[in-house]
Amino acid sequence: MTSYADYRTGGRIADTKAPAGPIHERWDKRRFEAKLVNPANRRKQTVIVVGTGLAGGSAGATLAEQGYRVVQFCYQDSPRRAHSIAAQGGINAAKNYRNDGDSIHRLFYDTVKGGDFRSRESNVHRLAEISVEIIDQCVAQGVPFAREYGGLLDTRSFGGVQVSRTFYARGQTGQQLLLGAYQALSRQIAAGNVEMHPRTEMLDLIVVDGRARGIVARDLVTGKIDTYFADAVVLATGGYGNVFYLSTNAMNSNATAVWRAHRRGAYFANPCFTQIHPTCIPRTGDHQSKLTLMSESLRNDGRIWVPKAKGDTRPPAQIPEDERDYYLERIYPSFGNLVPRDIASRAAKNVCDEGRGVGPGGQGVYLDFADAIERMGRGAVEAKYGNLFDMYQRITDEDPYRVPMRIYPAVHYTMGGLWVDYDLQTTIPGLFAIGEANFSDHGANRLGASALMQGLADGYFVLPATVNDYLARNPHKDEVDSGHPAVQEVLAETEDRLNLLLSVDGDRTPDSFHRELGELMWEFCGMARNETGLHKALERIPQIREEFWRRIKVPGTGEELNQSLEKANRIVDYLELAELMCLDALHRTESCGGHFREESQSPEGEAERKDQEFGYAAAWEFTGTGTAPTLHKEDLVFEYVHPTQRSYA
Amino acid sequence: MKLTLRVWRQKNADADGAMSTYEVDGISPDMSFLEMLDTLNEELILKGEDPVAFDHDCREGICGACSLVINGDAHGPERTTTCQLHMRSFSDGDTIDVEPWRASAFPVVKDLVVDRSAFDRIIQAGGYVTAPTGSAPEAHATPVPKPDADLAFEHAECIGCGACVAACPNGAAMLFTSAKINHLNVLPQGAPERETRVLDMVAQMDEEGFGGCTLAGECATACPKGIPLTSITGMNKEWLRATRKAGKR
């Protein structure tokens, strides 16, 4: 056992902000109890927002509309490019426009169940309540959702849900919602209410007298490292899927902001809860830099299969019907190809591990549209999925209308993140985390079309209400003194770190380390985890870290646009976060949602939860690089949706 | 595949730039163009040379960050973004020229990276609907005819990459600006600001130093999202209408 795995269990934590009482009254109650800031005083209060995706963009715009002074950052050249833009499928809302039995309570129920009973009921219910307002808001902004001929909004069913509650804009829902938020933000930038810093990356958090009071950020063009001060700081910096090197995340999405906040005292919750998406395009070789997801709406009409026989290398058309195994339809007859993401991904891994995978390296399964084309006609399939088929053909050079697509699971989303209370405040007063950066709403597995919903719920509606309360209780008194030792220390640490990266002058590139770490994590902390593998990873990570600081090579200087330096600095944080992910996965000896421990499964190979032992959120406290962290448990109480073993058979 | 690359290298905005020649070997036809550049950069780093800087992020054709002129064409020979261009579009032994977007309103930051903040300022001038959070009516209160919604969507697909500007002999941003104006002006939600939107955005576009349109049509040919040239006609119509209406007041 490594000393890092010798963690200590500290005091339990409680969410002190969630009101008691009937669940549907809690959000109203909290908003009423929250203190308000006099509109005249809002201009004096500054809020820093880091990130401009759905959560950050909507939060920045809304806080500015309320009258706060917002200072906002993104590493991209424009706030319009945050990776929310790549979300394809849609956004859930309990509008019940279809009259198909949907309701706020059903969306709440589905989300808690889909999350495998590892999320917080109060938060999830609030999310379901707000979902209906999000659609209204986005339509008012001019988001061109799909419509029916009568002019009303169209919806579809999505990812393991039996009602049609998913609103969409062809395969580009994320893009359209993000542009809506970006345009609202642009209006506030023009009005002078938001000071926008593009191409500027947060490198650390400034905590003064126990409160978050600012950030250290680097201008990526000039290389200048500067401090920015505020009365509250909001992190909307997304997830940490890029720890795995290959994922569906954008190339520059990273974990530095959340990890640096964690190092400064914010607890990190459920880091091992990562989502592997079942319908991605398989990799073609070692040069692969990222993986591309195709909307899982494809599973509505495509049939997933592999050959029955191992090592069958015949082209798919030559494999007769009775020699094909439509394994999802066979194992899960009632949900079939529409089982939740974690189940579909694991089933694909299992058949490939058996040697029945297809394509290069046997790392793929077929997603076949032949039946759909015969049933609906090619035209209908084209109308529904045309853009996805085109994308597939462009990447693979194969025609999915004639040859079945090949798909394989890939890292897509991280349910874990900074621990936040009902107000979305972290354990550092004045530091808030929203969107994928926090942990609260999706438990151990996120349902399709729920990420967009959560990002916008947090940014448009939740945070602007709760940050009020914090600012009212902590009114602006004085500016932070830039000479304060706490500020100088963070600044010096950041500069030293970058200088060190530039001075090692070793013989390995940043990417080579990132790839090595990613392969290790995919093997031992990916779709299936076990004790031996996790110990192996925990032994290996500190060695990679040591080698990194000995052999890293970063050309150029810190006083210029230096993309190698940016990469290397992000890897420094991945090399610590990866260790915590493995420890979290090791300590949770149950299987739940995206976290599958091989030791905890039924004789049929289904995941087995252990509610008595693990019915809590694991919030980790940082104690030092490579030293064992402290575990704080937040007990999860289920008053409305009673835990049952998920069954999709 | 073995290729010769001629790449624009420029240390920073103030420095002079020049084409530098590099050889790359072992390139797979399945690589994306950016993965081919990754390969070159890995070699350059190990040699202690400065790797080629280029903008990229999602690598799935939607964020609009990537922006290379390849053999004289914005985003290269296929009608797609640079990140979705694959090496199978080239042949073994080819010489490939790689340059940044060329337009006076898009100054070079470094190598192949340009400053496209002018686009953000055009949107800030009026490319939005004033709908503060919390003020929205019920979504079904105003039905939108499907053809209008579809038309709005077609224009809303713009990813703001700037290929239209790079391809235009005049460095005009007409297609970018018109896409947003058409998206919002066709919808009932965008109607109250219809006139101010087109007047303010066009004024900002001119102020940023973009050229004028001479109907060369290169923009629509280069656009990876297929924004049609008629988008510009639509904007001109809106602008004339708004100008005449303003004159009457």
The architecture of the domain spanning B3-110 is: Roll (3.10)
The confidence score (pLDDT) of residue A645 equals: 75
Q: Identify which of A86, A135, A151 has the shortest CB distance to residue B144.
A: A151
Looking at chain B, the domain(s) classified CATH 3.10.20.30 span 3-110
In chain B, positions 96-115, which contact chain A (CB-CB < 8 Å)?
109-110, 113, 115
Q: How far is CA A158 from the centre of its chain?
A: 18
User: For residue A644, what pLDDT is reported?
Assistant: 85
Residue A160 confidence class, pLDDT cut points 50, 70, 90: low
pLDDT at A489 over 70: yes
The CA distance from A442 to A415, in Å, is 6
- Confidence class of residue A2 from pLDDT cuts 50, 70 and 90? low
Q: Residues of B with CB below 8 A from A140's CB? A: 129, 131, 135-137, 189
> How far apart (Å, rounded) are the C-alpha atoms in residues A560 and A219?
9
d(CA A634, CA A616) in angstroms, rounded, equals 5
- Determine the residue of chain B that is closest to A508 in CA distance: B46
Contact call for B38 and A289, based on CB within 8 A: yes
Using a CB-CB cut-off of 8 Å, the residues of chain A touching B42 are 509, 511-512
The CB density around residue A86, as the number of other CB atoms within 10 Å, is 23
Average pLDDT, chain A: 95
**Per-residue pLDDT, B248:** 65
CB contact under 8 A, B143 and A150: yes
Residues of chain A found within 8 Å of residue B130, distances taken between Cβ atoms = 187
To 10 degrees, what angle do helices A485-504 and A531-551 make? 80
Domain A495-610 classification at class level:
mainly alpha
Residue A68 is given by DSSP the state -
- Hey, is the C-beta of B28 within 8 angstroms of any chain A C-beta? yes
- The residue of chain B nearest to residue A566, with distances taken between CA atoms, is B53
- In the stretch 181-210 of chain A, residues with CB closer than 8 A to chain B read 182-184, 186-187, 189-190, 198
- Among partner residues A186, A251, A507, which is closest to B124 by beta-carbon distance? A186
* Per-residue pLDDT, A341: 84
CATH number for B117-248 (one of 1.10.1060.10, 2.160.10.10, 1.10.3720.10, 3.40.50.300): it is: 1.10.1060.10
Tens digits of residue pLDDT in A409-435: 999 999 999 999 999 999 999 999 999
C-alpha to C-alpha distance for B92 and A46, rounded to whole angstroms: 56
* Mutate which: B88, B101, B123, vs A, most A CBs within 10 A: B123
Search chain B and give the residue with CA nearest A141: B129
Interface probe with B: pick from A132, A290, A293, A456, most Cβ of B within 10 Å: A290
Q: What percent of chain A has pLDDT over 90?
A: 90
Residues of A within 8 A of B60 (CB-CB) are 86, 248, 290, 292-293, 391
CA distance A83 to A182: 12
In chain A, the residue whose alpha carbon lies closest to the alpha carbon of B144 is: A151
Residue from A277, A290, A257 nearest A577 by CA: A257
Cβ-contact A385, A170 below 8 angstroms: no
Within 8 A by CB and 6+ apart from A225, the residues are A203, A216, A217, A218, A219, A491, A494, A495, A498
- Long-range CB pairs of A344-347 (<8 Å, 24+ gap) are A344/A278, A344/A279, A344/A299, A344/A304, A344/A409, A345/A276, A345/A277, A345/A278, A345/A409, A345/A527, A346/A527, A346/A528, A346/A596
- How far apart are the C-alpha atoms of A94 and B232, rounded to whole Å? 39
Selected residue of B25, B133, B180 to mutate for chain A interface (largest A Cβ count, 10 A): B133
pLDDT exceeds 80 at position A12 = yes
**A297 pLDDT above the threshold of 60:** yes
CATH domain A277-412 topology = Flavocytochrome C3; Chain A, domain 1 (3.90.700)
Calculate the CA A9 to chain-centre distance: 27
| pLDDT confidence bin for A387, thresholds 50/70/90 | confident
| Domain(s) of CATH 1.10.1060.10: residues in chain B | 117-248
Which of B98, B104, B77 shows the shortest CA–CA distance to B88? B77
The HSE-up count of residue B94 (CA atoms within 13 Å, CB side) is 14
Q: Which residue of A has its CA nearest to B188?
A: A142
Q: Kindly determine whether residue A186 and residue B123, on different chains, have CB atoms separated by under 8 Å.
A: yes
Which of A113-117, B171-175, B191-195 is least confident? A113-117
- pLDDT for A57-89, tens place per residue? 999 999 999 999 999 999 999 999 999 999 988
Does the distance separating the beta carbons of A287 and B44 come in below 8 Å?
no
pLDDT score of A513: 98
- Residue B149 to residue A146, Cβ atoms within 8 A: yes
Which of A186, A252, A556 has the CB atom closest to B50's CB atom?
A556
Q: Is the pLDDT of residue A13 over 80?
A: yes
Per-residue pLDDT of A189-237, as tens digits, reads 999 999 999 999 999 999 999 999 999 999 999 999 999 999 999 999 9
Residue A80, chain B, CB below 8 Å: the answer is: yes
Task: Express as a percent the part of chain B with pLDDT over 70.
Answer: 99
ipTM exceeds 0.90, yes or no: yes
A78 vs B50: CB contact, 8 Å cut-off?
no
- Give the one of B11, B65, B78 whose C-beta lies nearest to A81's C-beta: B65
Instruction: Tell me which residues of A are annotated as active site.
Output: 341
* Amino acid identity at B146: K
Structural domain boundaries of chain A? 277-412, 495-610
A402-461 residues touching B, CB cutoff 8 A: 460-461
> Which chain B residues in 147-176 lie under 8 Å from chain A, judged by CB atoms?
149-150, 152-153, 156-157, 159-160
| pLDDT for B81 beyond 80 | yes
Rg (C-alpha) for chain B, rounded Å, is 20
Residue A1 has pLDDT above 60, yes or no: no
pLDDT by residue (tens digit) across A533-554?
Answer: 999 999 999 999 999 999 999 9
A474-478, A578-582, B51-55, B164-168: which range is least confident on average?
A474-478
